[in-house]
């Protein structure tokens, strides 16, 4: 922990929750600022330049997605970790597609949260088992579904395997052991999944959402 | 605590039993409303109704009508007009629509008779009489359609959308037909009158005059429409607003009921058990799950859907043993006997993990593929040596391995002391796909 402390920014419209997170994280990372509204968040993230932004999904004036889209235009290097009380599929997938590097729910333990922040700051993706489940669901093999760019939109078998293990509650380290690959390779697979999720064609995802009566 | 959630918002059904204002009972008993009497009637109950209203003998009223008859048929005309205008009395039964037209026809005929009596020589006068009669009949029909009691009846029949009810009601078609019919009659009558009173004689009427008359009639009708349109529009918007308001109110009521039945009770229980950390966690977790289900998850009956059944089993174990089950289910399928057995085996695996693994949380992952169902239950608890203990663990042998084998599936248990346990269940469902 001698390395440089990570600079974290909090965006959440509940002051109590921000205070709680700040108290929990204070020992491990520097909380450089917090914001309660989209406009405030966008301007303050611009001036503080944090490593990682912890982003609430549901806020009164547009939500985390609005912050993400506004900041990414000017500061693509800032990484986002969504921290939401909702684990509804449309929220998770929507935020990941907008460019968040990970998604955790507010029931996460402080240690896991610190770990997730570290991984996101390192350029890695953070998948909870539930998120892995959503992704598997979204990319479920549909041989009959027309796909614009199969290379881009389909998960490889290996990626699918990694996701399954993630969904089964395995840690990266355990996945590496199970599949006889290095942890680095696991991380690469997960990052690829995330990239594919962000770029996957709209048709597939909208169909998936429609199947589940999400839209 | 047992929590049942009816997931998803069920849009409110119209409250059929909503109270309607009772017009009859609110009227002062001394002077009955002026209606056609249903009980005391010889022809249509007009005389009886009037008699009841003015507190005279019905016979006297009838005699007055008869006395008026020779005066150019005034008695008949009045009777017909009253018949048309007065609403039916208390137990006013429904009559066939065609019969409802009788008074208008009578009024028209009476007017015609009057005009004949006035202009015995026939000719223009007679024609005008006919036309006036036409206008009278048409106007009467339209007037009858505007009867507020009729709207009230529709409102009673379907409080949410009286207009809809009116549309679907067989009554509605008659309504439109008669409204149009009435309009046509009025228009034709007016055209005729205008044409006849044009300065030319009948023989010299040109098409131009006729067109002018048509134009006049149309202008008149358009005027009526203009006057009526804002009123109609206001009524429609008011009805729509009322309907939306009611839906919103129902959703609010549903949310309030949910908060009352579950959230408040849970909070009360938490207050009472504030010292018991485990109980508080269990209650909060259970409440979180039920609210989450209510907010986000599509409805699915645990007896019919694999995913819902697994979630229900996970919830039950959570509540019973005070642990967290991280359930992730990918895909779904219908439940049959074999799938139900698999769910039961998964539940047993969860129970084992909750009981023996000494952990706070267990992962449950299930995937429904077209030909294969897989369930994984994993904990990071104490673990055990499967070869050493399996013989005497009937829970594992009977409830998990045996049950899966009986239904043509497989169960595999991997456990390492100190690293936790994973139970893997799989069931091939190719043959069941179409069921």
CA–CA distances in Å: residue A154 to residues A168, A191, B187: 21, 14, 70
Shortest CA distance to B319 belongs to which of B377, B259, B278? B278
Q: Read off the pLDDT of each residue in B86-91 and give the average, rounded to a whole number.
A: 61
Q: Is the pLDDT of residue A77 over 70?
A: yes
Q: Read off the pLDDT of each residue in A33-48 and give the average, rounded to a whole number.
A: 85
Stronger pLDDT, B209 or B361, i.e. the higher one = B361
Q: Determine the Cα–Cα distance for residues B401 and B397; give it in Å rounded to an integer.
A: 5
Contact indicator for A103, A95 with CB cutoff of 8 Å: yes
Stronger pLDDT, B2 or B179, i.e. the higher one = B179
Position B8 confidence tier, pLDDT thresholds 50, 70, 90:
very low
Q: Is the pLDDT of residue B375 over 80?
A: yes
Q: Model pTM?
A: 0.55
DSSP A72-128: HHH-TT-EEEEEES---HHHHHHHHHHT-SEEEETTS-HHHHHHHHHHHHTT--B--
CA–CA distances in Å: residue B299 to residues B94, B402, B410: 44, 32, 30
Range with lowest mean pLDDT among B51-65, B136-150, B357-371: B136-150
Q: Is the pLDDT of residue B115 over 80?
A: no
What is the pLDDT at residue A207? 63
What is the pLDDT at residue B29? 46
The answer to whether ipTM exceeds 0.85 is no
Q: Is the pLDDT of residue A173 over 70?
A: yes
> What burial class does residue B149 get, using C-beta atoms within 10 Å of its C-beta: 0-12 exposed, 13-18 middle, 19+ buried?
exposed
Chain B within 8 Å of A174 (Cβ-Cβ)? no
Contact indicator for B353, B359 with CB cutoff of 8 Å: yes
Residues from chain A that touch B365, judged by Cβ atoms under 8 A, are 129, 133, 164, 167-169
Sheet of strand A102-105: strand arrangement = A30-35, A7-11, A52-55, A79-84, A102-105
Chain B within 8 Å of A142 (Cβ-Cβ)? no
Q: Is the pLDDT of residue A1 over 50?
A: no
Give the residues across from B376 on adjacent strands.
Answer: B365, B424
Range with lowest mean pLDDT among B176-185, B303-312, B350-359: B176-185
Stronger pLDDT, B297 or A159, i.e. the higher one = A159
**B326 Cα to chain A: minimum distance (Å):** 8
Q: Which two tokens stand for residue B20?
A: 């309607």
Contact indicator for B415, B385 with CB cutoff of 8 Å: yes
Q: Determine the Cα–Cα distance for residues B12 and B18; give it in Å rounded to an integer.
A: 13
Position B26 confidence tier, pLDDT thresholds 50, 70, 90:
very low
Chain B within 8 Å of A177 (Cβ-Cβ)? no
What is the pLDDT at residue B153? 53
Q: Is the pLDDT of residue B362 over 80?
A: yes
Position B123 confidence tier, pLDDT thresholds 50, 70, 90:
low
Q: Read off the pLDDT of each residue in B8-15 and give the average, rounded to a whole number.
A: 38
CA–CA distances in Å: residue B283 to residues B190, B258, B317: 78, 16, 13
Q: Do B378 and A168 lie within an 8 Å CB cutoff?
A: yes
Give the residues across from B364 on adjacent strands.
Answer: B327, B377
Position B12 confidence tier, pLDDT thresholds 50, 70, 90:
very low
Chain B within 8 Å of A162 (Cβ-Cβ)? no
Position B164 confidence tier, pLDDT thresholds 50, 70, 90:
very low
Position B101 confidence tier, pLDDT thresholds 50, 70, 90:
low
């Amino acid at each position: 922990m001698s390395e440089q402390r990570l600079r974290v920014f909090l965006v959440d419209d509940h002051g109590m929750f921000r205070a709680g997170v700040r108290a929990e994280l204070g020992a491990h990372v520097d909380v450089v600022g917090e914001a309660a509204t989209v406009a405030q968040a966008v301007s303050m993230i611009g001036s503080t330049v944090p490593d990682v932004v912890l982003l609430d999904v549901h806020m009164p004036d547009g939500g985390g997605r609005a912050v993400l889209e506004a900041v990414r235009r000017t500061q693509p290097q800032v990484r986002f970790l969504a921290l939401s009380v909702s684990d509804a599929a449309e929220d998770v997938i929507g935020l990941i597609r907008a460019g968040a590097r990970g998604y955790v729910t507010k029931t996460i333990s402080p240690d896991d949260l610190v770990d997730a922040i570290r991984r996101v700051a390192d350029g890695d993706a953070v998948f909870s088992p539930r998120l892995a489940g959503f992704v598997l669901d979204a990319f479920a093999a549909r041989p009959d579904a027309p796909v614009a760019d199969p290379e881009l939109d389909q998960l490889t078998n290996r990626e699918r395997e990694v996701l399954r293990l993630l969904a089964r509650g395995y840690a990266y380290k355990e996945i590496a052991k199970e599949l006889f690959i290095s942890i680095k390779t696991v991380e690469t697979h997960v990052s690829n999944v995330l990239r594919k999720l962000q770029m996957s064609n709209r048709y597939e995802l909208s169909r998936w959402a429609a199947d589940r009566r999400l839209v | 605590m047992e929590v049942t959630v009816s997931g998803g918002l069920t849009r409110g059904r119209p409250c059929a039993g909503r109270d309607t204002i009772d017009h009859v009972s609110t009227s002062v008993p001394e002077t009955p409303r002026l209606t056609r009497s249903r009980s005391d009637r010889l022809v249509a109950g007009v005389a009886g109704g009037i008699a009841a209203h003015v507190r005279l003998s019905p016979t006297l009223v009838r005699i007055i009508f008869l006395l008026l008859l020779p005066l150019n048929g005034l008695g008949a005309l009045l009777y017909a007009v009253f018949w048309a205008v007065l609403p039916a009395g208390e137990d006013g039964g429904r009559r066939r629509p065609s019969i409802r037209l009788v008074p208008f026809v009578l009024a028209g005929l009476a007017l015609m008779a009057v005009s004949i009596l006035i202009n015995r020589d026939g000719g223009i006068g007679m024609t005008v009489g006919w036309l006036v009669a036409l206008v009278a009949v048409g106007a009467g029909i339209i007037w009858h359609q505007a009867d507020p009691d009729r709207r009230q009846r529709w409102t009673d029949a379907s409080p949410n959308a009286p207009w809809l009810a009116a549309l679907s009601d067989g009554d509605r078609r008659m309504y439109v037909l008669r409204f149009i019919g009435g309009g046509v009659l009025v228009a034709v009558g007016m055209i005729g009158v205008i044409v006849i009173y044009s300065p030319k004689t009948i023989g010299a009427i040109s098409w131009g005059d006729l067109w002018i008359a048509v134009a006049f009639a149309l202008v008149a009708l358009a005027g009526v429409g203009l006057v009526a349109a804002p009123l109609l529009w206001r009524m429609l918007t008011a009805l729509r607003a009322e309907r939306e308001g009611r839906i919103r109110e129902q959703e609010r009521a549903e949310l309030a009921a949910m908060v009352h039945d579950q959230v408040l009770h849970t909070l009360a229980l938490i207050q009472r058990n504030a010292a018991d950390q485990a109980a508080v966690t269990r209650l909060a977790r259970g409440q979180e799950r039920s609210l989450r289900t209510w907010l986000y998850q599509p409805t699915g009956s645990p007896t019919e859907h694999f995913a819902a059944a697994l979630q229900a089993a996970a919830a039950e174990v959570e509540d019973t043993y005070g642990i967290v089950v991280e359930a992730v289910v990918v895909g779904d399928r219908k439940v049959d006997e074999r799938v139900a057995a698999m769910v039961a085996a998964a539940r047993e695996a969860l129970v084992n993990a909750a009981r023996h693994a000494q952990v706070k949380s267990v992962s449950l992952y299930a995937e429904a593929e077209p030909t294969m169902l897989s369930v994984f239950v994993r904990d990071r608890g104490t673990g055990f040596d499967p070869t050493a203990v399996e013989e005497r663990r009937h829970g594992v042998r009977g409830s998990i391995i045996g049950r899966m084998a009986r239904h043509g599936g497989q169960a595999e248990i991997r456990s390492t002391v100190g690293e936790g346990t994973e139970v893997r269940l799989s069931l091939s469902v190719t043959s069941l796909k179409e069921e």
